[in-house]
Structure 1
Amino acid sequence: MLTVAVLISGAGSNLRALLEAAAEPDYPARVVVVGADREADGLAHAEEFGIPSFTVPWREFTSREEWGDELGTQLDVWKPDLIVLSGLMRLLPPSLVARFTPRIINTHPAYLPEFPGAHGVRDALAAGVAQTGASVILVDDGIDSGPVLAQERVPVLDSDDEHTLHDRIKPVERRLLIDVVRRVATGELELAAARRPLTPS
């Protein structure tokens, strides 16, 4: 059984979808802990499902590296096979990525490498494209620059604003995440084989 740690910053809608999938007896992975960089609303999902949680508040540290060191210490307690960044709005420091690579994956509401960064949906609308998408990637030490593990196109409608487009991307993002975790658990997807060498820090 694959053990999974999920890291969040906000409401945790992807987290909830993964928790619901993992509650099914035939799903080959289990969430063992949920972490956050603040008092995130999504921690309530962990409580509802009886999953332990921890918080490593970003503001309590003087540098990203110190924050990452403490986050790594918390993750080491649970020794997860896989770490899922699910709306974590902080870039992990290279030292933490190197410590856990290639066991960290991330979801993104765009068809990478198109529209990386924190405003992928907004940027797609601003660019006037006819389609965007959702992606699940292997995390490296860049911004949404790791190898793509799964992705799917989502059309942009003339009537779309940022909210409506994101609402149509989210279900695709969740489905891709659940499938990627399943394939990692069954050995169908080997993260080490997907890994590219990390950029030297």
Structure 2
Amino acid sequence: MTAACNVVVLISGSGSNLQALIDSQADGNPACIRAVIANRADAFGLTRAQGAHIPTAVLDHKAFGSREAFDAALMEVIDGYAPDLVILAGFMRILTPGFVRHYQGRLLNIHPSLLPKYKGLDTHRRALEAGDSEHGCSVHFVTEELDGGPVAIQATLQVNSGDDIESLTQRVHAAEHQIYPLAMRWFAEGRLRLAEQGAMLDGVTLPAAGYQIRI
């Protein structure tokens, strides 16, 4: 029996990816979400967590004089839950280098593009405007480079001729809800790790695009 893997999830909004992570906790999955922390008191994800009897906390970034002060306070709250893994699920804050280093190798994020394409915002619009035939999402380890950490898993879907930003957003969201719980479970099982050479799955270095799933 694999020991439980304590997970803390950071959110800013509705928490649809959080819900997928919560729903994936079941017998045989060592991942255990110990707490959900938001930087906005009105984040609906807090309601989702409370409905699942998961402890929550709110830390308003506007109450702090600097990004560094906020991140230091956030680390203190997170570390109170002794996390093995910290997951960013729609956490709309750029993290300081000190925060990222503190959780190096145990900090995951999901990004709505096939990284390294379209780092940053407006990924679906950018993919459509570029005429891309494929789009998707990536789970990656967080490093000090924005959206630049080693990719663990990527879901690729075909861009349909009738797709607009709304339809493409919905389809990518559905893909996110498949791969994020998978990455959390792989990490909890000790299968997914970050090494000097990049992301590793079952002791094998993954390619730059990570483990590939076509949807």
State the TM-score, normalized to the length of structure 2.
0.87
- Does the 8 Å CA contact 2:88/2:108 hold for their aligned counterparts? yes
Cα distance in 1 between the residues matched to 2:196 and 2:85: 15
**Structure 2 counterpart SS, 1:159:** coil
- Does the 8 Å CA contact 1:147/1:194 hold for their aligned counterparts? no
Instruction: Report which of the two has the higher share of helix.
Output: 1
1:160 to 158, 163, 167: 163
Corresponding position of 2:146: 143
Superposition pairs for residues 35-74 of structure 1, below 5 Å? 35-39=37-41, 40-74=43-77
Q: In structure 1, give the amino acid aligned to 2:104.
A: T
Q: Does 1:106 align with 2:106?
A: no
Cα distance in 1 between the residues matched to 2:194 and 2:48: 27
Cα distance in 1 between the residues matched to 2:197 and 2:156: 21
Q: Say if 1:91 and 1:19 are closer, same or farther in 2 by CA, change over 3 A.
A: same
Cα distance in 2 between the residues matched to 1:183 and 1:9: 25
Sequence identity percentage: 37
CA-CA distance at 1:52 after TM superposition: 0.5
**Structure 1 counterpart SS, 2:80:** helix
Cα distance in 2 between the residues matched to 1:194 and 1:53: 35
**Structure 2 counterpart SS, 1:143:** coil
Cα distance in 2 between the residues matched to 1:2 and 1:148: 21
1:25 to 11, 24, 27: 27
Cα distance in 2 between the residues matched to 1:63 and 1:4: 26
- Does the 8 Å CA contact 1:85/1:104 hold for their aligned counterparts? yes
Instruction: Report which of the two has the higher share of strand.
Output: 2
**Structure 2 counterpart SS, 1:73:** helix
Corresponding position of 1:121: 124
CA-CA distance at 1:5 after TM superposition: 0.4
1:84 to 77, 87, 107: 87
CA RMSD of the aligned region, Å? 1.4
Cα distance in 1 between the residues matched to 2:107 and 2:56: 18
CA-CA distance at 1:195 after TM superposition: 4.7
State the TM-score, normalized to the length of structure 1.
0.92
**Structure 2 counterpart SS, 1:190:** strand
Q: Say if 1:122 and 1:194 are closer, same or farther in 2 by CA, change over 3 A.
A: farther
Cα distance in 2 between the residues matched to 1:25 and 1:172: 23
How many residue pairs are counted as aligned between the two chains? 195
Corresponding position of 2:6: 3
1:47-101 deviations in Å (ceiling 9; x for gaps): 0000001111121122211111111011011111000000111111111111111
Runs of 4+ in 1 over 2 A off after TM superposition: 191-196
Gapped runs of 5+ residues in structure 2? Answer: 200-215
- Does the 8 Å CA contact 2:87/2:109 hold for their aligned counterparts? yes
- Does the 8 Å CA contact 1:11/1:41 hold for their aligned counterparts? yes
CA-CA distance at 1:193 after TM superposition: 5.3
